[in-house]
Amino acid sequence: MDMFQIAALGLTGAVLAALLRQEKREFAIYVALAVVLLILSQSLHQLLGVFDFLSSWQTRLSYGRVYLPVILKILGVAYLADFVAQVCKDAGEGAIGAKVELAGKVMIFYLATPVMASVLELIENMIPG
Amino acid sequence: MSIDIDIIFKIAAIGIVVAVLSQVLIRAGREDQAMMTTLAGIIVVLMIIIEMIDSFFETVKTMFQL
């Protein structure tokens, strides 16, 4: 799905949401949510090629081979947290959106700790004495 | 995912129909039935959206090995 279709999707979604916002506020949120879901799932399919490329490179990496799945997980968490936070803010629930974002950051920090541990260990070995 | 642009028009159409119906019912003096139609519309739209969310989460789960 190329960029033109995504642009058209976004524009029609915006127009329909504005149309529905007068009478029924909640339907504007549903339309916006549907459009966001569609655009995200289309753009996810584009990522498949990148992931194949990364995994083909993974065999040649010596040091960071273990951490490619961690990177993918962090990417997924960031993707989801941003999606939900924006939709919540769009629906008027700023607090919920902010908390989802915070939870996303905490999750990413949690996922990143093993990587940090191994980097620190590497540095420690390098420094003599 | 089925034909994507079509889902959005479906949701918008349901929204418009529900809005018009509830206005007509309110004018006719039947506020409770207007509430009923609004609820029915919301439930139908939610079913569609939940199915979309489910398939989106499934793709994210498989792709990012979450």
Give pLDDT, residue B3: 61
Same-domain pairing of A113 and A67: yes
User: How many separate domains does chain B show?
Assistant: 1
Same-domain pairing of A81 and A127: yes
- The more confident residue out of A60 and A34 is A34
Please name the residue of chain A whose CA is at the shortest distance from the CA of residue B66. Answer: A73
Residue A35 is assigned to a structural domain of this protein: yes
Please name the residue of chain A whose CA is at the shortest distance from the CA of residue B48. Answer: A34
Q: Which of B42, B49, B1 is nearest to A24 (CA)?
A: B42
Give pLDDT, residue B1: 46
Residues 6 or more apart whose CB falls under 8 angstroms from that of B15 comprise A20, A23, A24, A27, A28, A30, A31, B41, B45
Give pLDDT, residue B51: 93
Residue A110 is assigned to a structural domain of this protein: yes
Q: Is the dihedral of CA A31, A77, A59, B59 positive or negative?
A: negative
- Could you give the CA distance from residue A76 to residue A65 in angstroms, rounded to a whole number? 19
pLDDT tens-place string over residues B10-65: 999 999 999 999 999 999 999 999 999 999 999 999 999 999 999 999 999 998 88
Give pLDDT, residue B17: 93
Same-domain pairing of A98 and A128: yes
Give pLDDT, residue B58: 93
Q: Tell me: pLDDT of A18 over 60.
A: yes
Same-domain pairing of A73 and A36: no
pLDDT tens-place string over residues B56-65: 999 999 988 8
Q: Give me the domain span that covers residue A88.
A: 61-129
Same-domain pairing of A1 and A35: yes
Chain mean pLDDT for chain A: 89
The whole-angstrom distance between A9's CA and the closest CA on chain B is 7
CB contact under 8 A, A76 and B64: yes
Q: Which of A66, A76, A59, A62 is nearest to A115 (CA)?
A: A66
Q: Give me the domain span that covers residue B20.
A: 5-63
Residue A103 is assigned to a structural domain of this protein: yes
User: How many separate domains does chain A show?
Assistant: 2
A40 inside 8 A of chain B by CB: yes
Residue A13 is assigned to a structural domain of this protein: yes
Give pLDDT, residue A120: 92
Residues 6 or more apart whose CB falls under 8 angstroms from that of A58 comprise A65, A68
Residue A55 is assigned to a structural domain of this protein: no
Q: Tell me: pLDDT of A24 over 50.
A: yes
- Could you give the CA distance from residue A89 to residue A74 in angstroms, rounded to a whole number? 22
Amino acid type, A16: L
- The pair of three-digit structure tokens given for residue A107, joined into one six-digit string: 């999750």
> A28: which chain B residues are within 8 Å (Cβ-Cβ)?
15
Same-domain pairing of A122 and A65: yes
- The more confident residue out of A113 and A51 is A113
Residue given tokens 């129909």 in the structure block: B17
pLDDT tens-place string over residues A48-99: 888 888 888 877 777 767 788 888 899 999 999 999 999 999 999 999 999 9
CB contact under 8 A, A9 and B8: yes
